[in-house]
Amino acid sequence: MPFLLVIPSIDIKNGKTVRVVQGIPELNCHEYGNDPIEMARIWRAENAKMIHIVDFDAIGIMGNLNLKVIEKICHSVIIPVEYAGGIRSLDDAKKAFDCGTCRIVLSTLAYDNPDEFLKIFDEFGPSKIAISLDVVDNEIVIRARKYKTGISPNDFALKLKGYGVERFIVTDVKRNGMLLGPNIELSKSIAEVTNKKVTLSGGIRNKDELMDVQMFMNSGIDSVIVGRALYENRFPCQKLWRVAEMGIFQ
C-alpha cells in the first residue's frame, strides 16, 4: 500500500537556510542555519526520502542559480533533490539537471513564456518537470508571488495538463510558513479536475494533519512539502518517516 511522502523543504536566501513567510522574502526571513548543505545531510540522517530546494537567490529579476550549493547538496545525499527557483530558460534547466537534481519546478515561466516552457518540457519530459501552482484567494500568482494573473488554479492546471504535465505542487500562499493548517480542499480540487498527481505544500503543523492529508491519497495527493513545522520540531522526523514505511499511514 502507498504511503504519503513527506518532503522537507530547504529554502535558501543569501546562501543560508531560511524560513520565508508566504514565500516572500521581504515579509519575513528567519534563518535556520548557515549551511543548507549540512541541513540536507541532517534531513537525510533523519530518514527523509526526498528534499525540496527553493532558491530565493535565483528568483529575483537578476538572480542566478546557486549552482555550486545545489550540486554539493545533490552529491551529499543519496536521495532525490527537487529544485525550484529562477528557471527562465532551457539553458537554466540544463544547468540545474547537470547539478544532479531529479526534478525542477516551474511556475512563472509556464505563464510568461509558454514557448520556452515547452522547450524544457519536450527536452526532459513530464517525470522531470513539476508545475508550482501558487494561489492567493483562488487566483494564480507568479513572479515571486507578487503578480496576480486573474486565472483560477483549476483553469491554469487544466491548460498545463493539455501540455502533458503530470505533477502539480499546490500552495495556498496565505498559509505557507504560517502554521495555519493545510488547505486540503485546494489540492484535492486540482487533483480531481486534472486527474494528475499533486504535492500539497504549506500549512502543515503536526502529524495529525498529515493523517488528514493521507485520507485523500486516492484523489491524487501523494506527497506533502513541510518546512517550518519540521524545523521547529513539531513532530519527530525519524518516527514519522518510519511510521510511514511501516504502512501505518493507511
Whether 172 is catalytic: no
Active-site annotation holder among 55, 57, 92, 134: 134
Write down the catalytic residue from 11, 55, 57, 222. 11
Whether 222 sits among the annotated catalytic residues: the reply is no
Q: How far is CA 122 from CA 105, 128, 159, 196, in A?
A: 15, 10, 16, 18
Q: Which residues are catalytic?
A: 11, 134
